Every structure is written in structure tokens, then in C-alpha cells.
Copies of this chain bind each other. A is one copy, B any other.
Amino acid sequence: MSRIVLKSVMHKGETCDVLISGRRFSKIGGLKPKDYEKARVVDCAGLAILPPFYNGHCHAAMTLLRGYADDMPLQEWLQNHIWPFEAKMKPKDIEIGSRLAILEMIKSGTVFFSDMYWHREQTMKVVKEMGIRATIGVTFAQGLMSDEGIEANFKFLADRRLESDRVKLAVMPHSPYMVGEELFRRCVKVAEGEGMILHTHLAETKKEVSDCKKQHGCTPVELMDRYGVLGGNFVAAHCVHLSDSDMALMAESCSAVILNPCSNLKLCSGIPKIPKMLESGLLVGIGTDGASSNNNLDMHEEMKLAALLAKATGRADTLPAEEALRMASFNTAIAYGLEGGLISEGFLADALLVDLGNERLNPCHNLVSNWVYSADSSSIHSVICNGEFVMENRHVDGEEDIVREAELCAKRLA
């Protein structure tokens, strides 16, 4: 088993050594001389170790559409710009777009993402290559898919052959308005049988909620309850427009919510009711959504925005820095069944090393506060995932080629 010692790293205000054995943290401080034997010892003086980000909802390959169509109403955006572009995307393009996405995520401190998109094989391949984690969706969307496509999805889920230690499949019916009751119930059954996460878009816009009430006589969350979807393996993205009883239903069933505040503001979907969610006891994580509605995959920005919006709609002491960081790391990790997001013995060895000399982390009255409210990606020195460095000293292997290939690919498609 590979062993790494992070030497003289700052952890919760103390300088200590951290031992990583294989894919987990095995000692935080208190190392004995034999712990250093056969270990790679990395000098971390001047660096602090922090939990990395887990991106609870995105559409990775949409990086290719970054900035392609902005500042326009939702329907014009989708129908005249996004869908025609996407229609031209081939599996190879998905691979290129996913690679750019993962590069961007690593550079901004993210070690995991949940992906809802097409051509999942390509994205799975790139995740394996680049060393981070992902839960990759098998996406269901009636109207956009043939019956054969739907059956092929279920076959792919049963097969599971491309999964690995770091890459898991999940069942992802797009939304209650794109997937009907019968198909939703099949999805639930498969997710339960395979022990998989079930992920969907939910209550993103006011229109979705009022349409649902008209059509089904209940809210989208109540509809999910009726279909048997709610439960510990259910993770819902957006949830901007939840009623108090929706929140109670989700909290009681141990369902999780993933906030996507940048996207919700940019597309004029609304401001999530974070203070009420916190009061309800809901498990709340954070995601970025796709790069065509954000327009990046920077979890730090989402974390800060969630903390700010929580205060703006609550009180100045709502969602303090420690809790905002927890949302973007630990909460999102456990929503997806990962023992990550804490720098703690026994946890997955996923971490950031941040540069304590960065001007935005100084002076250092409170590192977590500085990290959440002041820093940006410029302070991220290195990123560790599953016990291995995926970025060291700000550089990711092959990054120039990844960017160049994406630029050429996007030009071809545009």
C-alpha cells in the first residue's frame, strides 16, 4: 500500500504531520518513526490542509458551451442555442469537454462530481484517467430518447462493467416533467436493487411547480413521494421552490438537496430558501450546474454565494463559514455515499493544500473564514484525491493540451 507523509502541514491551527496509507488518512499528527519508512515525505511547510470540494450536480462536458449563449431568456437559450449545439456533439466531443471540466475542477479544488449528461462511457474514461472521483449518471429523458435508448440505459446499469473504486454509476431520471410515473418507478427499483444513488432536477423554477400542481395536483416533491422516490439514496438538484412541507418530507425521508445558487440566479430561477432548509434538518450540499449556466465549475464561488444568500435571506449569523465549507465538502460527499470531506483518520484521503502566504489568506485571524469568504483558486497549491496528488504545485499534467483540444473542438461545433 502506497504511503505519503504530508510533513509540517497546518491543520486546525497546529503544524503536524499527516500520514496517508493507500486511499485513506491513517494518522493526523502523532506519527511514530516507523510511519515514515517507505513513505513519500512531502514538505508542506507554509501550506494548510483543508477538505476539498465535492460537486453535487453538474453537466461536465457542457464546458464546451461556456459563454456560447448568455444573457437571454430560458427558452430562447435552450431551443435556439444550447440544443442545436448539443445535437452536434459526438462521443469524442464529450470526452474532450469532460477533460476540460475535470481540469477546471481540479484547479479549483474539486475532487468529485456528480454528472448528468450523455455518452457516459466517455466521461467515465476521462475521470479514471485524471484521478478524481465521480458519480456518473445514466440519464433518462422521455421525448429526447427512444424506447430502445431507455432499454439500453437499463442494460448499461445492470452491467456496471465500467465502474471502479473512484467511478460509480447512478440512475438519473432528468426531472418529473421529462420522466413519467412508470419510468420513474422503474428507476427507483433499479437504484434500490443496485444500491445506487437516484438523482434528478427538482423544483428548479416556479413554472415547474405550478405546472406540476396543475397536472398532478401536488408539488414536485409530493409527486416524488407518491412515486416512492424519496429516501436515503435520493439526491435532488436545485430545489429552489420548496414549501415548508416539501422540506419536511425530504428531511424525514433522509433525501438530500444540492443547491446550485449561481445557476439559479443567472437563469432567473430564484433564490433558494437556505435558512428554512437548515431549520428543517435537510441534508444540504452544493453543486455548480453546467458551465453554460454558471459559467464555471468553481465550487468555491458556489460556497461563498450560498453563505451570502443564506445571510441575505436569513440573519447575519446564518450559515457561518465552517458550515458553508461543510456543505460544499462533507455534506455533498455523504449525500453521494462517500466517506469524504473531513480531514480525519479513517476518511478518504481527499484534500487541498492551500498556500498560507497567499495575500487573500492574510492576516490569518481565522483560516476557515479566510478560505470561505476571501480566497479564490489562486491560493490552491495542490490537490489530493484517493491518496494521490492530482495537482502538485498548481500544475496538472497535460493541462495545456487539454485546453487547446477543447478550444479546437468547440470551434468545430459552434
Contacts and interface: CB of A to CB of B under 8 A. Distances in A.
B308 A374 contact: no
Contact of A373 (B266, B317, B320, B410): B266
A311 B266 contact: yes
A365 to B, nearest CB: 4
A14 interface: no
A367 B212 CA distance: 39
A152 interface: no
Q: Which of A107, A262, A304, A367 has the most CB of B within 10 A?
A: A304
Nearest to A268: B316
Interface string A60-88: 00011111101111100100000000000
A70 B320 contact: yes
> How many copies of the chain does the oligomer comprise?
2
A290 B5 CA distance: 39
Contacts of A67: 363-367, 369-370, 373-374
A295 B403 contact: no
Contacts of A342: none
B363 A66 contact: yes
A266 B321 CA distance: 11
Interface of A: 63-68, 70-74, 77, 100, 103-104, 107-108, 262, 264-268, 270-271, 291, 294-296, 298, 301, 304-305, 307-309, 311-312, 314-321, 357-360, 362-367, 369-370, 373-378, 399-400, 402-403, 406-407, 409-411, 414
